[in-house]
Amino acid sequence: MAKSLFLAAPLILQALPGAFAWGTLGHDTVAYIAQNFVTSATKTFCQNILADTSTSYLANVATWADTYRYTSEGSFSAPYHFIDAEDDPPSSCNVDYNRDCGSGGCVVSAIQNYTSRVVDTSLSTTEVQKALKWIVHFIGDIHQPLHDEALDIGGNTIDVTFDGTSTNLHHIWDTNMPEKLVGGYTLTDAKTWAKTLTTSIKTGAYSSQKSSWLSGINIDDPITTAMGWATDSNAYVCSTVLPDGVSAVSGQELDGSYYTTAVPVIELQIAKAGYRLAAWLNLIATGSTGLKVASKPRGAPMIEAVKVMPRDFEAEMSPAKLARMAYGHKC
Ligand SMILES: [Zn+2]
């Protein structure tokens, strides 16, 4: 079974562009936004690693990780695309590194790991290249609220319809809603969307809040930094993804008022992901974000320093982790 699945996966990927994780549109847009905010030194750093001097050097690799995870060689990386927060939406949203990052790793530990590997001179060119491609992808994934939620396997098992098509809640957040908003999923569509969001960041609706998006960013503490991003994103599960619980969306057509409410969050999260990716790449390449960083406002909730405990691999798995295992690491 596994073998035929692996053989079929590339065909499925070709047949269904945008079928996985934010979809190609979301990931490519995040990459183009980042390209608009990296310094020239960072651009050179990335172009050298990727051996690509084109105007789409980050966008060209933004969805590689979603193809690689479906190969037998890359299957180990499947859990790195999410962190299954075992919180209780809509009444309580939160992410806990020790509770939620499974024994096989998660998007938070992956961001830490590949941040160190991309500058590890003992690694081969191929491994350094993979590390950069994963960073570009995972900083996108962590900004999709349902990549930071365990409930119903990140919404994958909540059946809904969208524009008359049967699908699931996870998928409409990854793909259907962004594609409906933009009207396509090509690289050109992504570039156009990125241009709009870049203008919003520079001079528009996001200009006054962008420095707060980088609050707490710390290249020496990727776990706490990425946990901040995951916590920020997970909060939208309670406020916007499932404000009235699963029963309110299950089996429903969500292309109406649900979509209208979701769109501003999707735009915001794509914009944040691109801006934070640029800052993170600037930190990696130059030691500075290259962008204005807000200090924490007085009285603002601080993201608590994350205490990383040694994992007990013998410990019993939670029902959510067992459900994820049974479902596979699809999204
Ligand atoms: Zn992914």
**What would the pLDDT profile of 130-182 be if each residue is shown by its tens digit?**
999 999 999 999 999 999 999 999 999 999 999 999 999 999 999 999 999 99
- Taking 80 as the threshold, does the pLDDT of residue 296 lie above it? no
From the candidates 66, 87, 232, 255, which is the catalytic residue? 66
Judging by beta carbons within 10 Å of its beta carbon (0-12, 13-18, 19+), is residue 3 exposed, middle or buried?
exposed
Q: Residue 5: which pLDDT band, with cuts at 50, 70 and 90?
A: very low
Other CB atoms within 10 Å distance of the CB of residue 150 = 23
Annotation says 171 is catalytic: no
pLDDT at 1 over 90: no
Structure tokens at 75: 């299957």
**pLDDT at position 323, please?**
86
Does the structure show a pLDDT above 80 at 29?
yes
Number of neighbouring beta carbons within 10 Å of residue 53: 10
Q: Which of 147, 171, 324, 329 is catalytic?
A: 147
Catalytic residue (one of 143, 170, 276, 329): 170
Given this model, what pLDDT does residue 310 score?
Answer: 53
DSSP string spanning 172-184?
A: IIIIIHHHHHHT-
Ligand 1 centroid to residue 81 C-alpha, Å: 5
Instruction: For residue 81, indicate whether it is catalytic.
Output: yes
Helix (H, G, I), strand (E, B) or coil at 210: helix
Please tell me the predicted confidence (pLDDT) of residue 328. 73
Active site residue 329: no
The whole-number pLDDT of residue 295 equals 85
- Name the packing angle between helices 23-37 and 125-141 (round to 10°): 110
The pair phi, psi for residue 168, each rounded to 5°, is -135, 165
Please tell me the distance between residue 231's alpha carbon and the centre of ligand 1 in angstroms.
18
Find out whether 272 and 30 touch, Cβ atoms under 8 Å: no
Q: How many CB atoms lie within 10 A of CB 56?
A: 16
**Amino acid found at 296:** K
**What residues contact residue 220 under an 8 Å CB cut-off, 6+ apart?**
none
Q: Which residues contact 88 (CB under 8 A, 6 or more apart)?
A: none
Residue 52 annotated among the catalytic residues of the structure: no
Q: What is the CA radius of gyration of the chain?
A: 19
Let me know if 324 is a catalytic residue: no
In which band, very low, low, confident or very high, does the pLDDT at 311 lie, cut at 50, 70 and 90?
A: low
Kindly report the pTM of this predicted structure.
0.90
Q: How buried is 198 (Cβ within 10 angstroms: 0-12 exposed, 13-18 middle, 19+ buried)?
A: buried
Q: How far is the CA of 79 from the centre of ligand 1 (A)?
A: 9
Of the residues 81, 171, 324, 329, which is catalytic? 81
How many angstroms separate the alpha carbon of residue 300 from the centre of ligand 1? 31
Please give the distance, rounded to the nearest whole angstrom, from the Cα atom of residue 147 to the centre of ligand 1.
Answer: 9
Q: How much is the pLDDT for 6?
A: 38
Q: Establish whether the linkage from the previous residue to 178 is cis, with ω within 30° of 0.
A: no
DSSP tally for the chain: helices H, then strands E: 15, 2
Active site residue 221: no
Q: Please give the structure tokens belonging to residue 91.
A: 């009444």
Q: How far is the CA of 13 from the centre of ligand 1 (A)?
A: 13
Does pLDDT of 34 surpass 60? yes
Q: Are 151 and 247 in contact (CB under 8 A)?
A: no
Give ∠ CA 5-11-15 in degrees, rounded to 5.
125
Q: Is 218 exposed, middle or buried (0-12, 13-18, 19+ CB in 10 A)?
A: exposed
The CA 248 to ligand 1 mean position distance, Å, reads: 27
What's residue 298's pLDDT?
A: 57
Q: What tokens does 295 get? A: 């200090």
The pocket of ion ligand 1, defined by CB under 5 A, consists of 21, 66, 81, 141
Determine the pLDDT at residue 8. 40
Q: How far is the CA of 298 from the centre of ligand 1 (A)?
A: 35
Burial of 298 (0-12, 13-18, 19+ CB in 10 A): exposed
| Distance separating alpha carbons of residues 73 and 58, to the nearest angstrom | 23
**Distance between Cα 68 and ligand 1 center (Å):** 10
Residue 160 β-bridge partners: 167
Q: Which two tokens stand for residue 24?
A: 């190609």
Given a cut of 80, whether residue 124 has pLDDT beyond it is yes
What is the percent of the chain where pLDDT is above 90?
A: 82
Range from 21-30, 210-219, 321-330 carrying the lowest mean pLDDT: 321-330
